[in-house]
Structure 1
Amino acid sequence: MNRTSGERRGPAPSPDPARSSLTEDRYRRGARRTAGEPLAAAWEPDGAKPRKRKRSIKNLIGNYGWRIYAVPVLVVLTALVVLDTAAQDDQGGGVAQQGGGLGQDRSEQAEDHPKVDETPPANTALVDIPTAVLPEGPSYTEQGAGTWEVVQGRTEKAGDGPLRKYAIEIEVGINPIDHGGDVTTFARTVDAYLADQRSWVGTGNVSMQRVDDGSEDFRISLTSVQTTHGLCGNQIQYESSCYNPDREKVVINVSRWVRGAKAFSNDIANYRQYAINHEVGHALGKGHEACKDDGRPAPVMMQQTFGVANDYVAKLNEVDASNRGAVPADGKTCTPNAFPVAPQ
């Protein structure tokens, strides 16, 4: 007789309620085992106390291997990174480069320059030179970003001597009002000064041309006060500009550009022309000079920002090793003069 798989030969027996109840009870925690039923194991037997495992160094090494050594090392390294990050935050972090819309890919990073420290050095000298004090006047930018943007534009060559090319740049962060509200205003002013026949081109020893393609011999840089201190030094308490030969940078201190110098009275344009010619003179290899003839126009390479009297400048130079002895204290006093080709 053939049988089909799964075929039943009669009705299925009904489950026994009593047996089902016993089967369920035997697995309930705390239930009493009925005779003939198998033991039911509980995951956590009642009244049982957890057994403590012995954690010896040997067991830890066996369980975790090399990781037992790596964990404390990682903890120490993490602590060092946190401390280093906190120290950088306390110092103000890095200076972010800002765009000034002046040039393309022509800005310099602040890391390329000496650190700007707002605290005067310990050897700052307090010398009483009345004519060296910054005149009263408008406010100016104390601290810029520490980066510069080149002002775009070129000029024709001026003069007949060997060509020296220059670029003009303005520190990012300087208030536009400090340079006339438009970056090209500062550039055109400097161009006019250096093309003047009373300037260096009038000596017949050099010609000048502004460029913006990176081929310059030096840069003329309008710079905030604190950045100027970082580039020029701050051995004396009076504001000044300078030429930084390591950077080939003529640094024009914005405080002097805005307010001028007492020796020039209220003639701010005449002082600005002097400042450009004097610092560019350093870029051309010229050193400081003294007043030679009492009552005559001062040489453009005299430090007229501090005064036109040899006695004053000599006194100030005593605290500046780089200029010591350049000017004799001989009582001579000149008149202010902005040009290398002195008026007759």
Structure 2
Amino acid sequence: MALVLVALLAGTGYLLHRQNAPAARATGDALSPSARPRASTAAVTSTSPSPRAKASGSRPATWFPQHGPGTFASAHGGTARFGTGRLLRYDVKVEQGLAQTADGFAAQVDAILDDTHRGWAAGGLWSFQRVSSGPVDFTVYLVTPDTTDRMCAKYGLDTGGWVNCSAGKQVVMNVKRWLLLTQYYTGQADEYHALAINHEVGHRLGHGHVTCPGAGRPAPVMMQQIKGMHGCVPNGWPYDGKGHYLTGPAV
């Protein structure tokens, strides 16, 4: 029974959409109500640290609070334009009280969107630029599980304290998921972070979910990888580095 419960917590379920929120998109790794873990309001730690996360004082690198104030620190400065396609401007915000800084998180987001060989800019359709002021096309947030739920619920999405979402102009990264990764990306924090950002930004670009195109092939970034790899191998990027878009049959 314990093994079954672990499997359910790690990778099963579905996301509940409200029919009156067609613009809302959520990552495909949401949990069903029966499988969704219910964390307490106490701080949570893990024994599997993310190498990109930094500890604060004596706290472990994967420390995070379950609940936050709902106020945010913005990353400073901006970037050059990444890519040559239609320009999308974005900013980055981190909920106050987390061990991660807005500038540190922004550097990770920038590195993913700046990848013009494997990222969304590789296809020539899109380009990205982080700004610290003025209008933006979307904001990338890193927030506590409870704040994730509140932000995503406004668009009819049930994130269950566990997953990310893309809704309106919000790309919401749940710090719990950001730090603890998934069973398929254990020890591969950078690759999982690429998957999380690229999946949710992909929804902002209008992409829906797809399935595995065949055994042994890279999992498309728009595949709901938390529900199982179905023969595909883990992959966090929309392009293969040679200009080929990695996709599969539509769900």
TM-score by length of 2: 0.68
Alignment partners' CA distance in 1, 2:132 and 2:210: 32
Q: Is the 8 A contact 1:165 1:217 kept in 2?
A: yes
Tell me what 2:179 maps to.
258
Deviation at 1:231, TM superposition (A): 2.3
Alignment partners' CA distance in 2, 1:283 and 1:293: 26
Alignment partners' CA distance in 1, 2:233 and 2:161: 21
Residue 143 of structure 2, aligned match among 223, 234, 243: 223
Q: Is the 8 A contact 2:140 2:171 kept in 1?
A: yes
Q: Confirm or deny that 1:126 pairs with 2:34.
A: yes
TM-score by length of 1: 0.50
- Listed one character per residue, the Cα deviations across residues 36-65 of structure 1 (whole Å, up to 9, x for unaligned) are xxxxxxxxxxxxxxxxxxxxxxxxxxxxxx
Q: Secondary structure at the match of 2:103?
A: helix
Tell me what 1:334 maps to.
232
Tell me what 1:145 maps to.
69
After TM superposition, list the pairs within 5 Å mapping 1:58-77 onto structure 2: none
Q: Is the 8 A contact 1:295 1:334 kept in 2?
A: yes
- Listed one character per residue, the Cα deviations across residues 6-65 of structure 1 (whole Å, up to 9, x for unaligned) are xxxxxxxxxxxxxxxxxxxxxxxxxxxxxxxxxxxxxxxxxxxxxxxxxxxxxxxxxxxx
Higher percent of residues as helix: 1
Alignment partners' CA distance in 1, 2:167 and 2:227: 19
Q: Confirm or deny that 1:195 pairs with 2:104.
A: no
Alignment partners' CA distance in 1, 2:77 and 2:149: 28
Quick one: higher RCO (CA 8 Å, sep 6+), 1 or 2? Answer: 2
After TM superposition, list the pairs within 5 Å mapping 1:264-275 onto structure 2: 264-275=185-196
The letter of the residue matching 2:93 is E
Q: Is the 8 A contact 1:126 1:237 kept in 2?
A: no
- Listed one character per residue, the Cα deviations across residues 243-265 of structure 1 (whole Å, up to 9, x for unaligned) are 011xx110000001111111112
The letter of the residue matching 1:186 is F
Tell me what 1:290 maps to.
211
Question: Mind listing any 5+ residue stretches in structure 2 that lack a counterpart?
Answer: 1-30, 37-45, 49-61, 243-251
- Listed one character per residue, the Cα deviations across residues 61-87 of structure 1 (whole Å, up to 9, x for unaligned) are xxxxxxxxxxxxxxxxxxxxxxxxxxx
Q: Secondary structure at the match of 2:228?
A: coil
Q: Which aligned segments of 4 or more residues in structure 1 are displaced greater than 4 angstroms?
A: 233-238
Q: Confirm or deny that 1:239 pairs with 2:154.
A: no
Higher percent of residues as strand: 2
CA, structure 1 residues 236+168, in 2 after alignment: closer, same or farther (shift >3 Å)? closer
Q: Secondary structure at the match of 2:225?
A: coil
Q: Secondary structure at the match of 1:209?
A: strand
Aligned-residue Cα RMSD (Å) equals: 2.4
Deviation at 1:305, TM superposition (A): 3.5
Alignment partners' CA distance in 2, 1:298 and 1:184: 30
Alignment partners' CA distance in 2, 1:195 and 1:148: 24
Alignment partners' CA distance in 1, 2:79 and 2:234: 29
Deviation at 1:183, TM superposition (A): 2.8
Q: Secondary structure at the match of 2:207?
A: coil
Q: Secondary structure at the match of 1:164?
A: strand
Alignment partners' CA distance in 2, 1:253 and 1:193: 17
**Structure with greater Cα Rg:** 1
Residue 125 of structure 2, aligned match among 192, 205, 208: 205
Alignment partners' CA distance in 2, 1:183 and 1:294: 39
CA, structure 1 residues 216+284, in 2 after alignment: closer, same or farther (shift >3 Å)? same
CA, structure 1 residues 225+237, in 2 after alignment: closer, same or farther (shift >3 Å)? closer
